[in-house]
């Protein structure tokens, strides 16, 4: 029997936005507050899993046509490239730096290269978690 629940689907449509917003906040807050790429990636993955529970796999694949294996591989590649980038500039592997810049919308902002590494971790965690869950869930 196909499982459709209007109450679950309607509340999911609202909740997914809150969870995704919170995950992005947690990812960017990781430099000075509790949070970071790992936990942000897990929260994003939980929002996507909620979508997969409320709707079926085919519908969500149409909405989000993303291969999560590629997302995970891209994340690892980004994290590796930030390490190699510091080697190219003549510093040891995975050296990091930061600078204060005045951006048009945010004002004075601290831009750190560690955030790019965190983005790689985030994408790797989302890709790995979703690949595991989907490959378990699709088996008959």
Contact residues toward another protein (CB under 8 A) are: 5, 7-8, 11, 14-15, 18, 22
Residue 47: enclosing H or E segment and its boundaries? helix 37-54
Q: Closest distance between another protein and the C-beta of residue 54, in Å?
A: 10
Alpha carbon of residue 25 to chain centroid: 11
Q: Closest distance between another protein and the C-beta of residue 83, in Å?
A: 33
- Rounded CA gap, 96 and 85, in Å? 10
Nearer to another protein, 5 or 56 (CB): 5
Nearer to another protein, 22 or 52 (CB): 22
- Rounded CA gap, 46 and 37, in Å? 14
Q: Closest distance between another protein and the C-beta of residue 95, in Å?
A: 33
Alpha carbon of residue 39 to chain centroid: 9
Nearer to another protein, 7 or 105 (CB): 7
């Amino acid at each position: 029997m196909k499982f459709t629940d209007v109450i679950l689907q309607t509340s999911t449509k609202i909740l997914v936005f809150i969870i995704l917003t919170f995950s992005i906040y947690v990812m960017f807050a990781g430099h000075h507050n509790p949070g970071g790429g790992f936990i942000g990636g897990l929260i994003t993955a939980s929002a996507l899993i909620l979508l997969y529970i409320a709707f079926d796999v085919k519908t969500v694949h149409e909405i989000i046509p993303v291969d999560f294996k590629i997302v995970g591989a891209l994340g690892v590649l980004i994290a590796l490239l930030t390490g190699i980038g510091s080697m190219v500039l003549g510093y040891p592997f995975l050296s990091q730096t930061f600078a204060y810049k005045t951006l048009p919308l945010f004002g004075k902002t601290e831009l750190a290269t560690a955030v790019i590494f965190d983005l790689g971790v985030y994408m790797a965690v989302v890709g790995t978690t979703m690949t595991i869950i989907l490959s378990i869930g699709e088996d008959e």
